[in-house]
Structure 1
Amino acid sequence: MRVIHTVSELREVLAGQPRTAFVPTMGNLHEGHLSLVREAARHGSPVVVSVFVNRLQFLPHEDFDQYPRTLAKDAELLATAGCDIVFAPAEDELYPQPQTYKVQPPPALGDLLEGEFRPGFFTGVCTVVMKLFQVVQPAVAVFGQKDYQQLKVLAGMAEQFMLPTRVLGAPTVRADDGLALSSRNGYLGPAERTEAVALSQVLHQLATSARVPGPSLAELEAKAAQSLRKRGWLPDYVTLRRRSDLLPPSDEQRLGSEPLVALAAAKLGQTRLIDNLEL
């Protein structure tokens, strides 16, 4: 496995490789990331994993400076997971000048849920991923379904720009108690880590109650959010949406066979966690 830090060297190494598979990450890797690498290896070769903490997707009050940089450990993990190349550019390598050209996702998808509570987030994500796609030129790129809305935004970007990259989603990896694996789980104290599983439990409860006649969807969502508040969480949203466009379902769709997804984002202590459950 090679660790490469410059765009020029990466392009030289990948020249003439028509089946490159790519997994973009911000590092601080865990088993969820490694599952993406293994999935990528099923679809192409060589497998390239980028490790880059992207300033553009952090709001001013968020944890860009505190986000863990653990490249040496990340490289050790990636070497065991089938990664062929780690691309770990410095910030001025990927952004040698201010990034004034940016990729703006459509408001109908990019300004709701995460986009509402983290304005500009998806612009930052789309911009860095577009840039990485141009550098790596992958045939396939794999993203985790834990970031459900992000996956839809990036798949739409690749489709509308007719990029030669197929965007694939891989299932969320969970701890034994059901907590979705996340780099930010490392911010949780012992008591918070025990409590954190409540987020997935609330989503299961919402998904179960949503398919049967009874209270309205708004009432079910309000009850789910209140159950988190009573446990000390600060929820941004707990909601049920259509998988197709992440808009609210009608009552007929909710009680029928429309593919749906329950999504939540909430802060526990100082740590913001997200999760989702398809139904």
Structure 2
Amino acid sequence: MGALHEGHLSLINKSKQHCDITVCSIFVNPAQFNNATDFEKYPVTTDTDIALLKSVGCDILFLPTVSEIYPPGLENKNYELGNLDEIWEGLHRPGHFQGVCKVMDRLLDIVQTHHLWMGQKDFQQCLVIVKLLELTNKKEIFFHRIETVREASGLALSSRNKRLSPTGKENAKAIFEVLKNIKETFQSENFINLCGEGKKYLMQHGFDEVEYLAIADAENLLLADEYQHDHQCVAIVAAWIEGVRLIDNLLLS
């Protein structure tokens, strides 16, 4: 959606290593914002984005208008995402993933890609897109989930970070500290207690609200209640600081 950073560029670089032609789309999708203020505040830095894409050798930039993506008469589909539309991000941002599917369905139809590269920071969105590929019979597209790029402090790179004050940005690194602690101790600790302590830590370090902090099954994001050696889990979090909503996650071995 633009406001590119090193996390986005890492996707371009990965694509260029494996593909003959790399296409990047930039489109601030109104359909996936359930909060009008969030949409209005989303940074638009097109000239800077173009320069960054040129610097890493992106072959094609697709920069469509709203009318190109959503022309008159376009079928208004409903995507059956199951529990992914109802838990975590789906619960706190109703309609968000329907909007994501709507725009991704269109982009994939237009670009006709063979590979799709997305960042792990939006972990639930990655699962949604895999589901979308099944629902729309686009199984020939190979989906790649790429590890989150972080600042030296551990804070996940995000376009939203630009809206934080220096103090807010310093405090925001507590998210990664909590996730890292969960990864180091989850095999021996009670999950509920571990996440409860993590929420307290965030609130003590400048956060205004923690929407969720949980350990879930990495395949379906259903809540996990104890360690099982044959199931991969993921620690997921969404929290507010200085009026900015940050999300992050960390896969647990």
Shift of 1:117: 0.5
| Aligned counterparts of 1:124 and 1:105: Cα–Cα separation in 2 | 13
Segment drifting more, 190-199 vs 91-100: 91-100
| Aligned counterparts of 1:194 and 1:105: Cα–Cα separation in 2 | 39
**Contact map agreement 2:118 2:146 (CA 8 A) in 1:** yes
Give 1:176's aligned residue: 152
Give 1:207's aligned residue: 183
**Contact map agreement 2:2 2:46 (CA 8 A) in 1:** yes
**Contact map agreement 1:260 1:278 (CA 8 A) in 2:** yes
Give 1:271's aligned residue: 244
Task: Write out aligned runs for 1:219-234 (5 A).
Answer: 219-233=193-207, 234=209
Change (3 A) 1:94 1:59: same
The one of 88, 106, 115 equivalent to 2:90 is 115
Q: Which runs of 5+ in 1 are unaligned?
A: 1-25
Shift of 1:232: 2.9
The one of 158, 163, 188 equivalent to 2:164 is 188
| Aligned counterparts of 1:116 and 1:222: Cα–Cα separation in 2 | 20
**Contact map agreement 2:192 2:225 (CA 8 A) in 1:** no
Tell me the matched-pair count.
250
Give 1:217's aligned residue: 191
The one of 26, 35, 42 equivalent to 1:60 is 35
Partner SS for 2:126: helix
| Aligned counterparts of 2:240 and 2:74: Cα–Cα separation in 1 | 30
**Contact map agreement 1:147 1:275 (CA 8 A) in 2:** yes
| Aligned counterparts of 2:229 and 2:107: Cα–Cα separation in 1 | 40
Task: Write out aligned runs for 1:12-51 (5 A).
Answer: 26-51=1-26
Q: 1:98-124 deviations in whole A, cap 9, x for unaligned?
A: 755134242312211111110111000
Segment drifting more, 103-112 vs 45-54: 103-112
**Contact map agreement 1:105 1:126 (CA 8 A) in 2:** no
Task: Write out aligned runs for 1:127-166 (5 A).
Answer: 127-163=102-138, 164-166=140-142
Shift of 1:131: 0.4
Q: Which runs of 4+ in 1 moved over 4 A?
A: none
Task: Write out aligned runs for 1:63-78 (5 A).
Answer: 63-78=38-53
Partner SS for 1:278: strand
The structure whose Rg is larger is 1
**Contact map agreement 2:171 2:206 (CA 8 A) in 1:** no
| Aligned counterparts of 1:180 and 1:160: Cα–Cα separation in 2 | 30
Give me the identity figure in percent.
37
Q: 1:137-188 deviations in whole A, cap 9, x for unaligned?
A: 0001100001001001101211333203221111100111111101111111
TM-score, length-scaled by structure 2: 0.94
**Contact map agreement 2:2 2:27 (CA 8 A) in 1:** yes
**Contact map agreement 2:81 2:131 (CA 8 A) in 1:** no
Q: 1:18-54 deviations in whole A, cap 9, x for unaligned?
A: xxxxxxxx00000000000011112322111001000
**Contact map agreement 2:113 2:141 (CA 8 A) in 1:** yes
Change (3 A) 1:105 1:174: farther
Partner SS for 2:3: coil
| Aligned counterparts of 1:121 and 1:98: Cα–Cα separation in 2 | 22
| Aligned counterparts of 2:79 and 2:168: Cα–Cα separation in 1 | 35
Give 1:23's aligned residue: none
| Aligned counterparts of 1:141 and 1:84: Cα–Cα separation in 2 | 15
**Contact map agreement 2:216 2:222 (CA 8 A) in 1:** yes
